[in-house]
Amino acid sequence: MKIGFAILLAALLAGCAKRPRPVARASAPSLEQFSCPAGTEDMLRWFTPRDTSKHVEGNHNPLYTAILPDRFYWTKSRKGWPWDIQLYDSQYIYLWITENGWSSPQSFKKFMGKNLPLSPRCVALNGGKNASITVPDTRYQQHTSCSQYTVKNLRRGINEVWGPYPVEWPAIGEIVPTLVVSYRYNCDENYGSCRDKETYSLVKDYGLMEWRHYHLVSPPDGYEVVEVTKFDRLEDGNIEPYFPCR
């Protein structure tokens, strides 16, 4: 009986360990005790909502945000997966993990550590292009399980922060300053004629309001939209993300 109970307890603890515990802003040192230099904005406040007890609903999926001391989750269903998981530190916010389909939480794409900075952590906003980052190393692991993957790459990349611009978002109900973070990849050796572009429309203390994916149709910079996810409702409730791999 004791052996059986011990096995059951170990299994329960292991299951709990696979669900990362989000932290409240007020208790996370990396969130509240970090401060940007005068005249700059902390981009983490634009990527994540201040009130994580709420989530947004959109035309394709909901979006639940969980913030940990070194990363945040954008979870796209009540199951706890799929998700986008971004890393952050005092220097940058980094693209890290995104789903590889919606059939398994063990199927995902993962950049190689911090090789893909998406935005500086602190940015001076001037109403135009505020920051630009060239990314020579876009290697990532394409996982079919926690331990099985192939290494691929997205050629060269370039990421930019633009704005803010006044935009009215239905989820907020008023016109608010909005930043657009642009992520271009599959670029040539000179960081031009990028075959793909994604944009993230962000509102301070609300987080992501819209994501778009573009394909290049007329080089060097003629794009057409191929996919849009827009979040138009702010609702109560959150969930814990589920990521079984380490």
pLDDT tens-digit series, residues 187-215: 999 999 999 999 999 999 999 999 999 99
Residue 47 has pLDDT above 70, yes or no: yes
Averaged pLDDT of the chain: 90
Q: How confident is the model at residue 31 (pLDDT cuts 50, 70, 90)?
A: low
Residue 48 has pLDDT above 70, yes or no: yes
Q: What is the pLDDT of residue 1?
A: 41
Q: How confident is the model at residue 7 (pLDDT cuts 50, 70, 90)?
A: very low
Q: What is the pLDDT of residue 33?
A: 81
Residue 5 has pLDDT above 60, yes or no: no
Phi, psi of 107 (to 5 degrees): -110, 110
Residue 94 has pLDDT above 60, yes or no: yes
- Across 4-8, 92-96, 134-138, 184-188, least confident range: 4-8
Q: What is the pLDDT of residue 246?
A: 83
Q: What is the pLDDT of residue 19?
A: 55
Q: What is the pLDDT of residue 4?
A: 45
